[in-house]
Chain A
Amino acid sequence: MTAEVVIRFENVRKAFGKKVVLDGLNLDVHRGETLCVMGPSGTGKSVTLRHIIGLLQPDSGRVFVEGRDMRTIARKDLIDLRKRMGYLWQDGALINWLSAGENVALPLRENTDLPDAEIRRRVIERLDLVHLPDVYDKMPPELSGGMRKRVSLARALVTDPEIVLYDEPNTGLDPEISMSINLLIRELARKLNITSVVVTHLVSCIRVIANRVVLLDAGSIVLDAPPEEFVASEHPRVKRFLRPPHD
């Protein structure tokens, strides 16, 4: 792929106490592509996403997003950069005292001067996009896990981000809703040319949405390949991850 590199990890190392989570990670993500990050639990998939959004800083090495070094970026530039990014949290991370609609409206209310009517129009549009037309006034505890995740997705998309990071978008969802989220991620990436990084455990997810898949293990990349090649790989670590032995 020759498209511009939007996200770059250069020899990134990150440890929490004695546990090394990322160990010399090198990774490029190109504009408009959907990269899926797979790997066993605790191998640094979510930590990778948190480096991209600037919630974590590497112990050594560098992370660049849109050409900005995330370790030295000025606070104001980081805030501006984050306004161009969306993040889907594993459990939704909806603000509990706001209705679903107000959760989606939150980044617009806080970061723009748009009038209420325009904010409401955009929120309803995004809720329609995630197939939740009737939840505007529902409170988070009234929503199912899948609905909360889709509201969170609507919130991540309401600012028209150029980069969206998805942390386990299918976890805890039934196969039908899981597939509808996969199709939605693919539709958004194609329609809006969004650059996406998706952390997932599911082969069904990468088959639908990925342009590229990487397997992370022990803090570095074991395999970086297109989804068909990844699934068919004879690499022993990939085989063990995708088709674990029964005995």
Chain B
Amino acid sequence: MKRIASSFLEFVRQTGEQLDLFWQVVRRLHHSWRRRAMIADQMYVGGIKVLHVVLLVGFSMGMVVSLQTGIELSRIGQQDQIGLIVAVSMAREMGPFITATILSAAVGSALAAEVGTMAVSEELSALEVMSIDATSYLVLPRLIALAVLCPTLTVLCDTIGIIGGGLVARSQLGVGLELYFDSAIDALQTPGVLIPIPKDVYIGLLKSFVFGIVIAIISCSAGMRTRGGALGVGNATRAAVRDSIILVIILNYFMTWAFYQQN
């Protein structure tokens, strides 16, 4: 019982630290222009290095969704609808989730390890002693980079997934590419209430934007809390990836519920 209580208190403390870190970054958003070079560096490092993974996984997932759903639809003669199903699945759920998971594993872990190594080698203390604001110098550029990267990669993931689905629809299900893409584009035409772009597209991008912020905050926070040398860095990295993916899944559900519950 004591252990459960102490784990719960630790969870509350960590959540409080993460929320506080997010608030501290929000208060420093006006430093963004000054940090533009670091933001660009982070986007390059985080974006280019995972681009091929996102494209490969997105392409494969589009093919899998197309094949699995197409087989069932063809039993009832509805395989013409495959474009609609692949497009909606990719834009609403698969694209944002796949991208966020890859970013958590590839970029979030690297980020936690990098900041964690700085913590154990006293570089964070050195920044503090030099009166350099670590939140502005380290966290802000990484958060902005991930908040921009995640939706950008999601668009690419959605697109390549839909293309992959189309190739399977043509080769395995006998659905023409023109019909497939017409159906996919039609599916993404539902106008948004808030902004004049299709609802499925902007909600998917909104999810990605939130996921990018979540990954950056959890990873930086885990890194900054690191104690105890190489073992501590390993623990921080593992915790960052685990917590990011769990929170992405939970937030994904609640955002889907919030935006689609009336449909």
Contact = CB atoms under 8 A, between A and B. Distances in A.
Same assembly = yes
Interface of A: 53, 55, 79-80, 82-83, 85, 87, 89-91, 93-96, 106-107, 110-111, 155
B123 interface: yes
B132 A55 contact: no
B121 A107 contact: no
B137 A82 contact: no
B217 to A, nearest CB: 21
B131 A93 contact: no
Interface of B: 117-118, 121-123, 125-133, 137
24 contacts: A53-B129, A55-B125, A55-B128, A79-B131, A80-B131, A82-B131, A83-B131, A85-B129, A89-B126, A93-B121, A93-B122, A93-B125, A94-B123, A95-B118, A95-B126, A96-B117, A106-B132, A107-B131, A107-B132, A110-B130, A110-B131, A110-B132, A110-B137, A111-B130
Nearest to A81: B131
The 8 closest A-B pairs by CB, nearest first: A93-B126, A93-B122, A79-B131, A107-B130, A110-B132, A87-B129, A82-B131, A93-B123
Contacts of A85: 129
Contacts of B122: 89-91, 93
A138 B37 CA distance: 20
A94 B128 CA distance: 13
Contacts, number: 47
A9 B87 CA distance: 69
Contacts of A90: 122
A89 B126 CA distance: 8
A32 B131 CA distance: 23
Contacts of A106: 130, 132
A240 to B, nearest CB: 31
B129 A111 contact: no
A232 to B, nearest CB: 36
Given A91-B121, A95-B123, A96-B123, A111 B132 contact: yes
A53 B128 CA distance: 10
A38 B3 CA distance: 42
B27 to A, nearest CB: 14
A92 B241 CA distance: 30
B95 to A, nearest CB: 31
Interface centre among B122, B127, B133 (most CB of A within 10 A): B122
